[in-house]
Amino acid sequence: MPALVPSPTSRAPSRRLSPLLRMDLVRSEKAVQHLTTFVVAGVATILVTRAFLALSGYPRIGGDSDLHVAHVLPGGLLMLAALVLQFAYVGRGPRPVAALLGGVGFGLFIDEVGKFVTADNDYFFEPAAAIMYVVFAALVVGAYWWRRHRTLEDDEVVANAAHVLVDGLAGRLPASRRDEVLRSLERVPRSPGAAELRTLLAAVEPAPAPVPARLEHLWARVDRGFDRAAHRPWAVPAMAVLLLVQAAGSALTVAALQGAGGGLGVSGRGVLVGASASLLFALVAVVQARRAGRRAAVESLQRAVLVSLLVTQVFLFATSQFAATAGLVVDLVLLGLVNADVARMRAQGEDD
């Protein structure tokens, strides 16, 4: 019986693998979308939970008995459900649902962080809001930084395409998603397995998008919206003005709230430092837009947004949670805009 000889297209060339690939850690191309779903679900859960408890007078499950079911318990069960979905099913279908369930569960969990860090189990511990904020902000910034500094390797592009093929074999791959993956494989024609995957995906019969996939499509539309808005000629000055207004508003809020009490505390000074740095970077962006080109201006705006997100809003939470929540929404929108613009210019090699 003749020995089986691999075809030229299937023979893997000798190559060095990255440390992550050597540990079987293949990054997902949809990681930012899933993390965004997780964060939005978590933040929304905290806000809804706090609003419901305040309106209902902070009821206690179990009444006057010794029984008390903290909402950290259903939060843990929802996070468990998200993990089980990932363990029990293959393909991309479970991921949007797992991100949503995990976000709601984590929101219920971290909403009670005040009880975990105080000796008297103080749910109303004031720094708890800042702790929650730092955790969610770090997730968002870390996800964008991770993708910005390390694009997917060719082998990871092929691995992601193989993952999508599972959905196609199960009969739930939308035509738009299939075409998107085929285009990604065209950019890595020499990678082992790319040609075979293109053939298999092209033979898959498209199907309407299932409910979980619609969550991914929603975030894809959001990304495209950010990209279209960021490409407009007025985008840079509009973002700079919005940052200036936000920084000034944060400083005035702290001055009004803490100044009336006889002086600025640590949180007030932190807000002023963060707002001043954001103002400086925003002004630099306005100057660079005329002298150094659009890319330099947008990167300065990116620094301004990150300072606002990680410094100004953190300290503002200790003073005014309502103002900080509004600031969080503005910063997330601005971060999406500047990251979309930076990614587009880097892909096109633009400097202005």
Contacts of 328 (CB under 8 A, 6+ apart): 43, 133, 137, 309, 313
Q: Tell me how far apart the alpha carbons of residues 260 and 253 are, in angstroms, rounded to a whole number.
A: 11
Say yes or no to pLDDT of 319 above 80. no
Q: What is the pLDDT of residue 236?
A: 79
**Confidence tier at 270 by pLDDT (50, 70, 90):** confident
Q: What is the pLDDT of residues 291-302, one digit of tens each?
A: 777 778 888 888
Q: What is the pLDDT of residues 159-216, one digit of tens each?
A: 888 888 877 777 677 777 788 788 888 888 888 888 888 888 888 877 766 555 565 6
Q: Domains in the chain, ordered, with CATH?
A: 26-60+68-149 (no CATH), 154-218 (no CATH), 231-348 (1.20.120)
Range among 170-179, 202-211, 235-244, 256-265 rated most confident: 235-244
Question: What is the value of pTM for the model shown?
Answer: 0.67
Q: Are 129 and 317 in contact (CB under 8 A)?
A: yes
Q: What is the pLDDT of residues 75-130, one digit of tens each?
A: 999 999 999 998 888 777 788 889 889 999 999 999 898 888 888 888 878 778 77
Q: Give the residue with greater pLDDT, 116 vs 2.
A: 116
Dihedrals phi, psi of 25, to nearest 5 degrees: -105, 95
| Helical ranges in the chain per DSSP H | 19-22, 31-55, 72-88, 94-110, 113-116, 127-149, 154-169, 175-186, 194-203, 211-230, 235-259, 266-291, 294-307, 313-319, 321-348
Q: Are 132 and 138 in contact (CB under 8 A)?
A: no
Q: What is the pLDDT of residue 261?
A: 57
Q: What is the pLDDT of residue 101?
A: 93
Q: Tell me how far apart the alpha carbons of residues 18 and 11 are, in angstroms, rounded to a whole number.
A: 20
Average pLDDT over residues 1-29: 58
Say yes or no to pLDDT of 7 above 60. no
Q: What is the pLDDT of residues 38-50, one digit of tens each?
A: 888 888 888 788 7
